[in-house]
Chain A
Amino acid sequence: MGAILGYPIYNLVRLSLQKYGLFELLQHHGVSVGLHNFGSVLHDPVFWHTLVRTIVFTAVNVGLTMVVGTLFALLLVQVSMWVRVLLTVGLVLVWSIPPVVAVQIWNWMTNSQNGVLNYVLTELHVGNFFQHNWFETPFSQLAMVTTLVVWGALPFVAISVYAALSQVSRDLVEAAQIDGARGWRIFKDVTMPVIAPILLILTSLSILWDFGVFTQPFLLIGQGHVVPSNYLMGVYLYEEGYVKTDFGRGAAISILMLVMVALMSVVYVRRMLRMGEATA
């Protein structure tokens, strides 16, 4: 099994040091070019712009997912039993929708001709959205991708945080109330310490997922419309390496991306390892 996992990585490193295009793919043999691919990527302004855009995108998406997800979880604690069951079933339903299906629903809801989003926003007097095109600028394209990604990610976060919240002792909350603590104070000093570990894990997972996201931006923006001004790292990598069949350069981008992801996941891996050891 080490081979299953190790071999692609070994290949990735080797590819990144080679000129490997369509010709070499057919020959199954690349030409060594040293660190040329890395130099070419690091001198490409598109790489740096995409990186910054992806970091901002990830921060916004993870922030929204975590804050709204936690609020949903807190809401689940407050409501009556039947509303809780209703909401949980709704969340699980959303969770189970395949990403490609979700993209198609978004395409339909946001289409400029007769999409329901434009109709609702106009009816609610948010503004005149008659035939508004949501995919006009890179900013609004990525904003739409954000709504799609966050919508899909909320159920997992909300349900996981809710599970953690059920471990918060009622006695402690009551004791804090008797001592005069209110809303925010109770959340910060009583609830937070209990759910902090799970929030940490969920945040790291979300960062990793959103940083490498591909399906949603690629399909929602549309294959013909992904351009350098709306690239995220996943799409950039796909277009530069696979579509342009420059596998060596693509491999160099992959390695840079994987190193960044590895650095980000140190927190998560260490945590999981500690939990694993506790039971070993």
Chain B
Amino acid sequence: MRRRTAHLLGWNAVGIGVFLVMVFPVFWMISTALKPEDQINSVTPTWFPTHPTFAHFRDALARPYFWTDVKNSVIVVLVTVAVAMVLAFLAALALSKYRFTGVKLFIVLMIGIQMLPAAGLIIPLYVVLARYHEVNTLTGVVLVYLTFALPFTVWTLRGFIIGIPPDLEEAAMVDGSTRFGAFIRILFPLVAPGLVATSVFVFITSWNEYIWARTLLSDSGKQTITVWLSYFMGTSRQTDWGALMAASTLTAIPVVLFFLAVQRRIAFGLTQGAVRG
């Protein structure tokens, strides 16, 4: 028994060690954002912000284009999520309820596109969007995000819909409900958790996206927050680390909140739950 306790203590110590190392970068970001200038620039680091200040957050918020680019990000994310959910839900319904030829090909295509590296599709999509004058517009970015978001959302929602026994819907119709009524009252509530999980996933990936926003949006006033953040360093020789870390913290906050809310679903969705329902 004592040996077991000693073992457990040992493993716990290792576990806490791993926790500290993994979380340190995040801690360091927040800690730096709150420290006064002299503590940041000293060669000997101060571990905790003993004299916390919000000056860096004020600096970051006052920088040019911060609010414009946050607004752009919010628009892009909301539109992408809304359109993706409607289209994906209908596509998933078609894929799971009604048989048609080519389902297998469709599924392979969907998983395939999910696997393609974004870098590989920059050139053709850029040229296509240039043809329709959608370069340097938020619409173009939304279209690109949809291309990448739809395969995953359709695939995941299909898993949720398949998990619902058709008897339930039929029972409702036997009881006098219309097909649409059955859909609203039976199917929709059961798929709702899937809709929430996938929309959060789309929210996070679109908010975090960098390469497309960077390629397609060239005007400072039209960029998204990740592009804004990536240009932060280049503006002056001496980097304002405090403001940079404050800006980084602000960029990460929405994602962290949503992530903590639904991480379990996404973890399983990507590997097994998506196909098991």
Q: Are A261 and B116 in contact (CB under 8 A)?
A: yes
Interface-side segment among B166-174, B175-183, B191-199, B207-215: B207-215
Q: Does A193 contact B (CB under 8 A)?
A: no
- Given the interface pairs A4-B146, A238-B122, the reply to whether A86 lies near B16 with Cβ below 8 Å is yes
Residue A215 lies at the interface, judged by CB distance under 8 Å to chain B: yes
Chain B interface bracket (under 10, 10 to 19, 20 to 34, 35 or more): 35 or more
Task: Tell whether, in the assembled complex, residue B255 and residue A96 are in contact, meaning their CB atoms are under 8 Å apart.
Answer: yes
Across-interface contacts of B122 in A (CB, < 8 A): 237-238, 241-242, 250, 254
Q: Closest chain B residue to A103 by CB distance?
A: B230
Q: Which residues of A contact B8 (CB under 8 A)?
A: 78-80
Q: Which residues from 240 to 280 on chain A have a C-beta closer than 8 Å to any C-beta of chain B? A: 241-242, 247, 250-251, 254, 257-258, 261-262, 265, 268-269, 272-273, 275-276, 278-280
* Chain B contacts with A in 100-115, Cβ cutoff 8 A: 104, 106-113, 115
CA distance A106 to B29 in the complex (A): 10
| Sample of 10 A–B contacts (CB below 8 Å) | A15-B123, A25-B127, A75-B14, A98-B207, A105-B25, A163-B268, A215-B211, A241-B122, A269-B115, A275-B272
Nearest 9 pairs between A and B by C-beta?
A: A212-B117, A96-B259, A234-B119, A12-B124, A98-B208, A78-B11, A79-B15, A11-B124, A83-B15
Give 12 new A-B contacts, CB below 8 A, not counting A12-B121, A75-B11, A90-B19: A8-B125, A15-B127, A79-B8, A94-B22, A96-B252, A105-B26, A107-B244, A108-B32, A116-B45, A119-B45, A154-B22, A242-B122
Give A residues with C-beta under 8 Å from B: 1-2, 4-9, 11-12, 15, 20, 25, 28, 72, 75-76, 78-80, 83-84, 86-87, 89-109, 111, 113-114, 116, 119, 151, 154-156, 159-160, 163, 198, 201-202, 205, 208-209, 211-215, 218-219, 223, 233-235, 237-238, 241-242, 247, 250-251, 254, 257-258, 261-262, 265, 268-269, 272-273, 275-276, 278-280
